[in-house]
Structure formats: C-alpha cells, structure tokens
A and B are shown apart, each in its own frame.
Chain A
Amino acid sequence: MSSEQVIDRLKNALGDKLKGTFAQTALRIYAEADPADIVEVTRVIHNDLGARFVIASGMEMETDFEVLYHFAFENMPPPCPLVTVRVHLDHEKPLVDSITSGVPAAAWIEREMHELLGIEFKNHPNMKPLLLAEDWPKDVHPLRRGRPWEGKVDRKI
C-alpha cells in the first residue's frame, strides 16, 4: 500500500483528531495529535486498523517534551509504511494519558519513559521503575538535558 493510501485510511478512520500528516518517504509517515486525543487515536490505529505497536520514544526538546508512538501496518500488502504519531507535552510538567487501555503492549515503554525522562502517564496500571537500580533517587531523570545526576548519585557501590 502506498503512503497516500495509508494516509487516506488514517484520515477516514480518525477524522480531524489526526493533524498534520506528512509522508517523509514512501515508507515513513508522521502525524500529530493532541495529548487529550492520543488514547483514542492509538486505540483506533492499533485495534481497528490492525497495526502493530512497535515502540514509543520520548524526547526532551528545547521548549517541550515530545512522545512519539510508532505503528507498523504489517497486515497490509507491501510496501508497508511505519506510521508515527507525535504529541507535544508541556516542558515544566509533562503529562499525558497512558495508552495501555487500547494498547497493552505500551506498559513497559511508558514505565521506561517515566523513570528516565520524568514524563507522567495518567492511569498507568503498574508504574514501577523498570531499568534503573533500586537505590536510584526517584526524582533524578538521567536522560534529561544537562547531566542531572551529577552530585546526586554515589558512584561507588
């Protein structure tokens, strides 16, 4: 399926919840959504359109936080594009709904984004630390800019 066909399918399914679709190449489609709509958008893409949830990425940019959700339309005839849905979050208090109600596979990556970047996910079923050590201080988020762990963590065990 070509990227235009996929974009048409997405627009038909989601209407104006999906803003700013952009096909960077034939296999790479980007779209924007509001943080308030993201649960519905991902649920439709994952359950109704049958795409596979690949992973989610979190980034701290200069003025905001971004979370990207990547979906692969492998149930369609090749070439199958990778669709990325982007949300922009507030820089001081990044907060978004957890998409685990529609996409249960997102549970672990949201835990990882929470402990490494400090992004809050509402209604997450099991928000426990995933990767960091047990004695790591809970308010130090290592993947934020500016090496926030300097001076706060003991470098000897």
Chain B
Amino acid sequence: MSSPWHLLGLLVFPGFIFMAAVGMLVSWVDRKVTARVQYRVGPPVLQPLWDLLKLIGKETVVPRGASRVAFFGAPLIGLAGAVFVGTMLGYAMFFHMGFNGDVIVALYLLVLPSLAIILGGSASRNPIASVGASREMKLTLGYELPFILALLVPVVKVSMAGGAGPLTLTGLLAYQAEHGSFAASFSGLLALVVAIICTQAKMALVPFDQAEAETELTGGALVEYSGPALAVFKLTKMLMFYAVPMFVVAVLWGGFGNSPGGIVLGVVKYLVLVVVITLVRNTNPRVRIEHAVKFFWGPVTALAVIAMVLAVWPKW
C-alpha cells in the first residue's frame, strides 16, 4: 500500500473514525450497564456523541497564569497516543501489517493518555488539579510494571517455542491462530487476569480512578478544563475504551481470527472484557492511592512475575 492509503487508514479505518465510533458505542454500553445495575434506565445510544458535540460548543476558559502550551497540548498528546495505538492494532489485526518491535511501541504509546492527564493537571494552576496529577503519577508508577510483565508473557512463550516475530503484533496473532490463544495456558491465564486488573487502572475506572475522583476531588486533574479541550479528553477516554481491551484480547486472548466465526468470537471476547470492567466498576468503592499502589506493587506484580517465570515452560 502506498502512503496516501496509510493516511486514510490512520484517519478512517482502522484509525480515528472507526475507533471513535466503537469507543462511543462501548462507552454507551458502560453507562447503560451501570444504569441497569443501579436499577435505572440509563441514557440513549447516541448520548456520548451528544456529550462531545455539546462540549465543542462551549467556551474554553484558561486559568490566568496557566501555561497555554501545556494546557492545550496535553489533550492532543493523549489523543495522538490513543489514535496511533488503535491504528497499529487495527493494522495488525485486520491487514496483518506491522513492524518489528511494535509491541514495545504500543506499550509506550499506551502511556501517553495518562501522561496527558498528568501534564494537563499540572498545567492548570489549581491545587486540586495538582493533587489529581500527582495521584495519576503514583498510579501509573504502580500499574505500568505488572501491565508490561503480563504483556511480555506472550513474547516469552513465542520466543521459547521458536515462533516468528515474537516482538511483533502480527507474530503474536499468527502464533495464537496456529496454537490456540495464550489464555488457554496457565501462565497466559494469570497474565490475562493481571492485564484485566491493570486495564481497569489504565482507563481510570473505579476502583482506580483517583486522578479524576469526582465526588472527592471535584474533577481531579481535569477540574479547570472546559469546552473543546475537555471534549478531547473525553474522546481520548472513549478511544482508550476501544484500544486497551482490544489490545489485551489481541495479545493474550486470541485476537480476531481470519474466518467470520473467528471475528464474531473476537467481538464476543472484547464485549465480555468490557462488561467485566463495567461490573467491577459498579461493585467496588474507590480505594485510596496508597492502597492502590501497594496493591499493584504487591500481589499483582507477584502474579505477573510468576506468570512470566512459568511462561518459560511450554506446558504451563
């Protein structure tokens, strides 16, 4: 494919427009399941779209003394990270194209939305936003380690078995298409559990949403944002709702096969992950930041290390 087609791939499919559509739909599923669990009715299907359009129509108030470059650049950094990760993932899953090391690049790009919240919160010149940004920093330090360890379990397995391209998304997907998904093995299952817990934190959902604690911090790191800048942050969150569980499904749970049955199975797996995340979100209280960091550096990292060690033996 020549370069102009890649631009279309970045912007339309499997890039920005496709990710935004799926992200908005999944964000609606999250709100609807939340409402149903709380015995309410919940919003209509197009609600996330109306939220974004409304925010675009409001004015953006910049606090006096805040750094305008960081204030407006932070949401764009987060958006760029999410869009590039989703596009890379889509290319690997639908077009079987990638480059060597794109798993590592994807892991780096997945950090960018959290970095955007930290940057935006610090640039807001508001003590509440600083508290939210510092909590996001601590949380990121907590969950990044087990997340990376869990996502390296497939890399270990593929390289021990001598498969091609252990550090490429296409290589991991091809290995799973041949030998069955990684979650069928014990270490893969442990890695999947760890990845789901870290996904909850990466998407800043209860019990790990200390950075944007609504009832406690009145908006946290995003307290001073309004208008289109806030719309970009909300859109980034919806894109991450697409990108992160899809990344986990692709790398650890078999991804999308080539046959129509495989695609349907992949969609079902993705929706199961989304519903699990939503149910966890609705049945747990928000934990304190020290407890969250201790939780991630304690049991979760231990589980991830055990999974990585067990991944060396093919039977496990």
A and B touch in the complex (CB under 8 A): no
Chain B residues close to A by CB (< 8 Å) = none
